[in-house]
Amino acid sequence: MQPRVLIPAYRPDDKLLTLVRDLRAAGLDRIVVVDDGSEDQSAAIFADVRIHQVPVVTHVVNQGKGRALKSGLNYILEHALGDAGVITADADGQHKLEDILKIAQAMALDPEAFVLGVRKFTGDVPWRSKFGNRLTRLVYTAVNGIDIRDTQTGLRGLPVGHLRLFLQLKGERYEYEMNQLLAIRTHGIKVLQVPIETVYIEANRSSHFNPVTDSLKIYGLLLRFIASSSAAGLIDLGIFYGLSRLIPGYLLATVIAARIVSSLVNYFLNHALVFARGSRHRQSLARYYLLATVIMLLSYSLIRLFNQVLGWPLLLAKISGDGLLYVLSFYAQREFVYRTPHR
């Protein structure tokens, strides 16, 4: 049984109709198209799509690609049509038939995997697409520990067992596709990456991706760890500084007291906003405080080294030591505290 092909479309041209015809001729005739508020100028295109017995889910007004994908998923689940998974493809001709067939073949080989069609970004690639993908790939890999070679690809194979999960994710525009990538780690979903051809038509002018507003939404999702750690760090620094003035000479007690309070804040913020979102508190909390104890002892040792051996001011020694431990703490939390069953 072939997967369902879901195509979100906003003001499409004849390329959408060509894609529908090619898919049906290749045997991928289980298609759903979403008209994301294209208005009357594309009415003839959607009418021709319906002639091919392809259902068209219609938005009265444009609501964004994320909402269009979720409307299509909702239609598929509501009508029990996603029993072999769903392939999402763009309507502007950037996804070739042979590449869509590659995704279908990969899904057949591993029905539980989340399949990505990854582009090589060689040849005449618009700078905003090449730069944006490289930057997002770098940040995503640092945060999640998974090297996704094309974070902005719209050609994806969604496994049937996780269609409801993808339907529940937040995001109305392009950040929704990044939310999918964030969800695969937190839910332990296996990833397959299939090389596809890089196609840009008319320098990608047909794309409705806004490199400023949509990028801010995407990267904002990936900076939550920095925000949560910064909040906890300020609390830790404030308590440390206050206690060091009230009870000078009790360095270890000051470090411990500040770390107890700030670590609670850091744990619950990271659990809710960054890493886990659903893992059991008992297991992750035990691992977190084992890590926190190690980090605290390292912090105390570095403060003593910088302050008492090198003669640095106490506050500078504290900031410098914890700054060195920041990266270690992040990777240890990602790989040890909030670890997931699969990579």
Could you give the CA distance from residue 222 to residue 224 in angstroms, rounded to a whole number?
6
CB atoms within 10 A of CB 84: 17
- Structural domain includes residue 28: yes
Select from 200, 222, 244 the last residue of a domain. 222
Residues 218 and 231 in one domain: no
Residue 220, H or E segment: helix 213-222
Could you give the CA distance from residue 130 to residue 202 in angstroms, rounded to a whole number?
15
- Structural domain includes residue 101: yes
Residues 212 and 111 in one domain: yes
What is residue 342's predicted lDDT score, i.e. its pLDDT?
46
Q: The CATH number of the domain where 141 resides is what?
A: 3.90.550.10
- Structural domain includes residue 342: no
Task: From 200, 189, 65, select the one nearest 132 (Cα to Cα).
Answer: 200
Would you call 88 exposed, middle or buried from its count of C-beta atoms within 10 A (0-12, 13-18, 19+)?
A: buried
Residues 158 and 239 in one domain: no
Residues 195 and 230 in one domain: no
Task: From 121, 75, 119, select the one nearest 96 (Cα to Cα).
Answer: 119
Q: Are 189 and 140 in contact (CB under 8 A)?
A: no
- Structural domain includes residue 239: yes
Select from 170, 203, 222 the last residue of a domain. 222
Could you give the CA distance from residue 252 to residue 199 in angstroms, rounded to a whole number?
60
- Structural domain includes residue 343: no
Tell me how many domains the chain contains: 2
The per-residue pLDDT string of the chain (343 residues; one tens digit each, 9 = 90 and over) reads 899 999 999 999 999 999 999 999 999 999 999 999 998 889 999 999 999 999 999 999 999 999 999 999 999 999 988 899 999 999 998 899 999 999 999 999 999 999 999 998 766 666 666 666 777 777 777 777 788 999 889 999 999 999 999 999 988 988 899 889 888 877 889 999 999 998 765 545 545 455 555 555 556 655 776 788 788 889 989 999 999 999 988 888 998 998 889 888 888 887 776 665 555 566 777 888 888 889 889 999 999 999 999 999 998 999 999 888 887 887 787 777 766 554 4
- Structural domain includes residue 214: yes
Three-state DSSP class for residue 91: coil
**pTM, to two decimals:** 0.71
User: Rounded to 5 degrees, what angle do the CA atoms 210, 219, 264 make?
Assistant: 155
CB atoms within 10 A of CB 99: 19
Strand order in the sheet with 191-196: 56-59, 31-36, 4-9, 86-88, 156-158, 114-119, 191-196
Could you give the CA distance from residue 120 to residue 195 in angstroms, rounded to a whole number?
7
Residues 56 and 172 in one domain: yes
Residues 211 and 311 in one domain: no
Residues 217 and 228 in one domain: no
Could you give the CA distance from residue 138 to residue 195 in angstroms, rounded to a whole number?
19
Residue 290, H or E segment: helix 281-304
- Structural domain includes residue 178: yes
Select from 177, 199, 222 the last residue of a domain. 222
- Structural domain includes residue 319: yes
Residues 89 and 30 in one domain: yes
Residues 328 and 211 in one domain: no
Could you give the CA distance from residue 176 to residue 88 in angstroms, rounded to a whole number?
13
Residues 301 and 250 in one domain: yes
User: Rounded to 5 degrees, what angle do the CA atoms 249, 254, 258 make?
Assistant: 165
Chain-centre distance for alpha carbon 197: 23
Residues 197 and 314 in one domain: no
Q: Domain range spanning residue 307?
A: 224-337
Query: What residues form DSSP beta bridges with 5?
Result: 31, 87
Residues 149 and 205 in one domain: yes
